[in-house]
Amino acid sequence: MKMPPFRVHSPKSLDEALQMSQDLAESGEEFDWIAGGTDLLPNYKWHINVKSHVISLSSIPELRELSEGHIGSMVSISELAEDTHTHPVLAKAANSVASILIRKSGTVGGNICLDTRCYWINQSETWRESIDWCHKCDCGTDADCRVIPNQNTLCVATYQADLAPVLMCLGASIHLASPKGVRSLPLSEFFELDGMKRNILEKGELVTHLTIPEDSSEWVGDYQKLRQRDSWDFPEAGVAVLWKGVSSQGPERLRVATTGLESIPSLHLEEAEGALSSWRGAETIEDLAESIRKAVKPVQNTWFSPAYRRKMVKVLTKRACSDLLVI
């Protein structure tokens, strides 16, 4: 596998990076940001949406800051997992990402912005040619979606990153920068329901860091993940459940988020709200798990079938809630 040639730019500061992105945009050149490269480069080797320039973020010190409540986008996943300030559930999710080698290279920002995945796209060029391409990378052929042909203008490739659901449950905000300026928003509003567009990042915009609210230490919970093997494999389903202020009447607050099931991760506000409104212990958890199962709509484009993944979402939700019943 050989990557097509591209030019690497290595800015030393955020300003320089943004300037470069503006310059490239003005000269009509396309580019990708590259962080750890563990997602981008395999895709490049497969010739998927390759650009002629990449801007590396690895030499920008301000993106590497990691402190309580602040996670720079270039913090590696293993640094996050091992840091003493990291919320235990976030550390658990981080530790379950891919393999130890990939966690050393892969970054938090890269994981949040992970490209969506699908059996019909994550293949070599020859392979994709043999199915007449698909609309996520159609090579100018106007090809249709191969998962759900003839009815979908959106791409249904699956978002399979582990950190987002936990960060969403912790109430994290995401901070972006572009030549036009900076902006911040809740992480749950960052994603866009389309496997091609994926998120709200504009051309030339990048993720600088995430912030986690001060009350995060009061939240407890769990992250549960489904996959074939305990290493390497992307989540076929992931469920984060976090809560705070538990009494016999149940928790005061409760958040549930899922990943690996659709083209974006989802924060299930209504379902959590429903559970809190009439707490009946184990029975409520059963109902909550059932409602999460109903809320997700996986498609046939990963290792396990959609039917199995939905059933397992229910089991994972219950397991993530198991500490709620111990009290």
Partner 1 sequence: MAEEEEDSVSGDEIIGYRQQPGKLPFSRPGSGGKNRFSEATDPEKIPISQGGSLEQPWGPHRHDELVSGQIIGKPTALVDSSWKVTGRAHYGDDVRLPGELIGRIVRSPHHYARVLSIDCSKALELPGVVAIATGEDAKNRFGVLPVTKDEHAMAVEKVRHAGDLVACVAAIDEATAREAERLIEVEYEILEPIHDMRKGLDDSEEPIHDRGDYHIGESNIQKRVFQEFGDIAGMSQKSIASHKKSWLFAGVNHGFTEPHAVVANWDPSGRLTLYTPQQVPHYLHRALADVLEIPMHQINVHRTFVGGGFGGKSDPFPHEMCAAILARKSGRPVRITFDREEVYWVNRGRHPSRIEMNLHADKEGRICGIETDALIDGGAFASFGHVTTYYNGVLHTAPYEIGAFHYTGARVWTNKPASGAMRGHGAVNSRCAVEVGLDDLAEELGVDPITLRLANLLPPHSATITGFRVTSIGMRDCLERVKEESGWDKKFRKLPLGKGIGIGCGFFISGSGLPIHWDPNKFPHATVHLKVDMDGGVTIHTGAADIGQGSDTVVAQSVAEVLGLPLDMIRVKSRESDTSPVDLGSYSSRVTFMNANAAISAAMKIRDELIDATVEITGAERKGLVIGDRRIFLKSDPAVGVSYLEALHKAQEDRGALVSSGAYRTPPMGRTHKGAAAGLAPAYSFSAYVAEVTVDVETGQTKVDKVWAAHDCGKALNPLAVKGQIIGSCHMGMGQVLSEEMRYGRNGNLMNPDLLDYKIPSVHEMPEVVPIIVESNDPEGPFGAKEAGEGPLLPILPAVCNAVYDAVGVRTSELPMTPEKVFKMIEKRCRNEGVSDPTELECPSLQYSELQKTLEERGEKHKSRDKERRLDEDRGDYYNGALFGLDPSTPPDEVDPRWEVRVTPDEVYLASPRLAGSAWKHTERRHMEGTK
3-class state of residue 319 by DSSP = helix
Question: Is 1 one of the binding residues for partner 1 (CB under 8 A)?
Answer: yes
Q: Which is nearer to partner 1, 142 or 230 (CB)?
A: 230
Distance (Å) of CA 23 to CA 5, 10, 58, 106, 290: 20, 14, 19, 27, 51
Which region, judged by CB under 8 A, interacts with partner 1, from 106-114, 122-130, 160-168, 254-262?
122-130
Question: Is 311 one of the binding residues for partner 1 (CB under 8 A)?
Answer: yes
- Phi and psi of 7, rounded to 5°? -105, 135
Among 193, 244, 303, 323, binds partner 1 (CB under 8 A): 303
Site map (CB under 8 A) of partner 1, residues 56-95, x = contact: ----------------------------------------
Among 119, 139, 192, 290, binds partner 1 (CB under 8 A): 119
Question: Is 150 one of the binding residues for partner 1 (CB under 8 A)?
Answer: no
Q: Which is nearer to partner 1, 33 or 133 (CB)?
A: 133
Q: Which is nearer to partner 1, 26 or 142 (CB)?
A: 142
Question: Is 214 one of the binding residues for partner 1 (CB under 8 A)?
Answer: no
Q: Which residues are bridge partners to 226 per DSSP?
A: 237
Question: Is 196 one of the binding residues for partner 1 (CB under 8 A)?
Answer: no
Question: Is 249 one of the binding residues for partner 1 (CB under 8 A)?
Answer: no
Strands (E) across the chain are located at 7-9, 31-34, 53-56, 66-67, 70-72, 173-178, 181-186, 206-211, 220-226, 237-247, 250-259, 266-267
Give least dist CB 129 to partner 1, A.
Answer: 5
Question: Is 279 one of the binding residues for partner 1 (CB under 8 A)?
Answer: no
Distance of alpha carbon 42 from alpha carbon 34, whole angstroms: 12
Question: Is 229 one of the binding residues for partner 1 (CB under 8 A)?
Answer: yes
Distance of alpha carbon 136 from alpha carbon 2, whole angstroms: 21
The DSSP code for 260 is S
CB 17 within 8 A of CB 11: yes
Among 19, 52, 130, 184, binds partner 1 (CB under 8 A): 130
Under rule CB under 8 A, how many of the chain's residues touch partner 1?
27
Distance of alpha carbon 321 from alpha carbon 126, whole angstroms: 45
User: In terms of DSSP bridges, do strands 206-211 and 181-186 run parallel, antiparallel, or are they unpaired?
Assistant: unpaired
CB 234 within 8 A of CB 260: yes
Q: Which is nearer to partner 1, 1 or 182 (CB)?
A: 1
Q: Which is nearer to partner 1, 160 or 208 (CB)?
A: 160
Other CB atoms within 10 A of residue 150 CB? 6
Among 67, 126, 151, 247, binds partner 1 (CB under 8 A): 126
Question: Is 226 one of the binding residues for partner 1 (CB under 8 A)?
Answer: yes
Distance of alpha carbon 237 from alpha carbon 132, whole angstroms: 29
Q: Which residues bind partner 1 (CB under 8 A)?
A: 1-2, 5, 99, 119, 122-124, 126-127, 129-131, 226, 228-233, 303-305, 308, 311-312, 315
